A and B are shown apart, each in its own frame.
Chain A
Amino acid sequence: DAKTTQPNSMESNEEEPVHLPCNHSTISGTDYIHWYRQLPSQGPEYVIHGLTSNVNNRMASLAIAEDRKSSTLILHRATLRDAAVYYCILFLYNQGGKLIFGQGTELSVKP
């Protein structure tokens, strides 16, 4: 079965880059990699997603390993507002969009 693995927590200093890793060694060729973040008692917020190539948007960058068995979410300059739980999610395209969540990484940002 597909599975994602993330560290439980990470710390960063404000204004510094943050690299959040995710392992998904069982990923198949059509599975997309999504990243969402969640604040307490709120629905998850979209951050970024990709399939094979690295992706950039205004919030973050997504670096996908060449073998696709891991990916890294990169926040280029962490702010206090980036403190949240970050989830790596596999979107199983060939299983009708079944979602596989990692356990999430709680990111804390120090001023």
Chain B
Amino acid sequence: DGGITQSPKYLFRKEGQNVTLSCEQNLNHDAMYWYRQDPGQGLRLIYYSQIVNDFQKGDIAEGYSVSREKKESFPLTVTSAQKNPTAFYLCASSGVRGLSGNTIYFGEGSWLTVV
């Protein structure tokens, strides 16, 4: 079955470390997204990518980096420059063209905690 997979589900980061969250989809979707969610809050866009080798900053991109070397993969790196990284991170993908229309799929999320 097609779907979107995030890993790991739980991740701990020490101060000053970079960590990378994985997001993989086998839906042949063009667009992929990363969102941050703080407890009791809505989703805020970090980065999104419409096509391979291209991505745009969202509302809160500072302290984060992404790459889109393959259509299936959109990893998010939380750098040491992100001063308050403890949050729930959600990856999503959507089809924009063709048979996949404009469906949106979300991963199950990753909890990042700074220790």
Contact = CB atoms under 8 A, between A and B. Distances in A.
A14 to B, nearest CB: 24
A41 B37 CA distance: 10
A93 B92 contact: no
Residue of A34, A46, A97 with most chain B CB atoms under a 10 A cut-off: A97
B42 A91 contact: no
Given A93-B102, A96-B31, A104-B42, A43 B96 contact: no
Interface in B81-115: 88, 90, 92, 94-96, 102-109, 111
B33 A99 contact: yes
Nearest to A103: B42
A42 interface: yes
Interface SS of B by simple majority: strand
Contact of B102 (A42, A87, A91, A101): A91
A42 B110 CA distance: 9
A44 B105 CA distance: 8
User: Which of B31, B42, B102 has its CB near the most chain A CB atoms (within 10 A)?
Assistant: B102
Given A34-B104, A96-B31, A91 B94 contact: yes
Interface in A79-99: 87, 89, 91, 93, 96-99
B107 A43 contact: yes
B110 to A, nearest CB: 10
Contacts of B96: 93, 96-97
Interface residues on B, range: 20 to 34
A107 B31 CA distance: 30
Given A101-B42, A102-B42, A42 B30 contact: no
A96 B33 CA distance: 11
A94 to B, nearest CB: 10
A97 B105 CA distance: 12
Interface string B45-83: 100101100000000000000000000000000000000
16 contacts: A36-B106, A41-B109, A43-B107, A44-B90, A45-B106, A46-B104, A49-B102, A87-B43, A93-B96, A96-B51, A98-B48, A99-B45, A99-B94, A101-B35, A102-B42, A104-B42
